[in-house]
Amino acid sequence: MAGRAGGKPSMPTVGKTAPAVNRTVADGRVGDAFSLPTGPVDLAAIKPNATPVGPKRKKQAAKLMEKISVELAGLQEKLYAEAMGGGRRSILLVLQGMDTSGKDGVVEHVVGLVNPAGVHLVSFKKPTKEELQHDFLWRIEKQLPPSGRVGVFNRSHYEDVLVVKVHKLVPQRELTARYPKINDFEARLAAQGVVVVKCFLHISKEAQTERLLARLDDKTKFWKYNPGDVAERALWPAYQDAYALALQRCNTESAPWFIVPGDRKWYRNWAVAALLLEVLRAMDPQYPAADFDPAAEQKRVAAS
C-alpha cells in the first residue's frame, strides 16, 4: 500500500497488504479504500464526493459514529494508560487540505470523541520571526505528541512545500530538498513509536464556494472568513499541483498518505474516525500490569 522511504517513493497498491513499517494503517479495508492509487497523483481524477467504503447516507454515518466513538475512546484510554506504564507509542494525525476542507470540523467531530487529556492539538500558522531563523522542521519537532497521546496537526510541516511552493517563498533548490527531509523526519518518528496518519481532505472548488458563501451568510461565521481566501482561490490550480507533488513524493511506508473525500462533511468525519479506529485496533494498546498486589491493597483501603 505504501511507498518506500528515501528517494522517490513507490506508490501504494490499493487492496493489497504491503510489508510496510507502519502496518497499523496497511491492514484494514478503510486504509485500503483511501490510500493513494498507483502511479502519478491526479487529484482531478479522484472524486471529492465519493463514498468508496462505509456509509452511503448521513443517518447511517451518524449511527456508525456512535459505535466508533465508544471503541475509539476506550482504545485511546488504553494508549494513554500504556504510556503511564512506560510505553513509548503515540499517534500523530496530520490534517491537510484547502481552505474550508474541514480540518476544524474533523478536530471537533472526530478528535472530540476522545478524552481531551490524551490529545495534543496544534494548529500551525504563518511562521514567526524566530521560527524563520531555524530549519522549517524546527517548530514541528517542538510540538510532537508525548507518549500515549493522540497528536493532531491542523496544518503541518507540509505547509512548507505547499504555500511555500505556490508563492515561491524559497529557491527551487531548497524546496526540492524539503521532500526527502520530510520523509526522513517521518521515518524517524515511526522508528520512535509515533504512528503517523496523514489525511488529505479532498474537496472540490464548488464545495469551497458553497462553504465560503455560507460563512458570509451567517454573522456567527464571519470570524472564520478571511478576505484573503478569495485571492488564494485564484491559485487553486497551483495548489492542486503542489498537493499532488507533495502526496506523491512523501507517500512512504512509514507515513503513507490517505485521500479522504471531503465534499460530504458527514462522510469525511466518518472516514477519519474509521481510519483512527483502524490504527488503534492494530496497535492494540494494553493497560499496564499493576506494580502492587491488588488484593493486599484492597485490604489496606478497607482497613484505612
pLDDT digits (tens, 9 = 90+) for 106-145: 999 999 999 999 999 999 999 999 999 999 999 999 999 9
Q: Which pairing describes strands 194-202 and 90-97: parallel, antiparallel, or unpaired?
A: parallel
- Spatial contact of 150 and 114, defined as CB atoms under 8 Å apart: yes
Average pLDDT over residues 14-35: 53
Whether 247 has a pLDDT exceeding 70, the answer reads yes
Global pTM exceeds 0.95: no
Residue 294 half-sphere exposure toward CB, CA atoms < 13 A:
2
Contact status, residue 250 vs residue 186, Cβ threshold 8 Å: yes
Question: In angstroms, rounded to a whole number, what is the distance separating the alpha carbons of residues 268 and 135?
Answer: 33
- What's the CA gap between 289 and 147, in Å, rounded? 18
Name every residue whose Cβ is closer than 8 Å to that of residue 169 and which is 6 or more positions away in sequence. Answer: 163
Looking at residue 33, its pLDDT comes to 93
Which pLDDT score, from 0 to 100, does residue 18 have? Answer: 32
Q: Report the share of the chain in percent with pLDDT over 70.
A: 90
Q: Which residues of 179-217 are buried (b: 16+ CB within 10 A; e: fewer)?
A: bbbbbebbbebbeeebbbbbbbbbbbeebbeebbeebee
What pLDDT band is residue 228 in, cutting at 50, 70 and 90?
confident
CA distance 191 to 251: 16
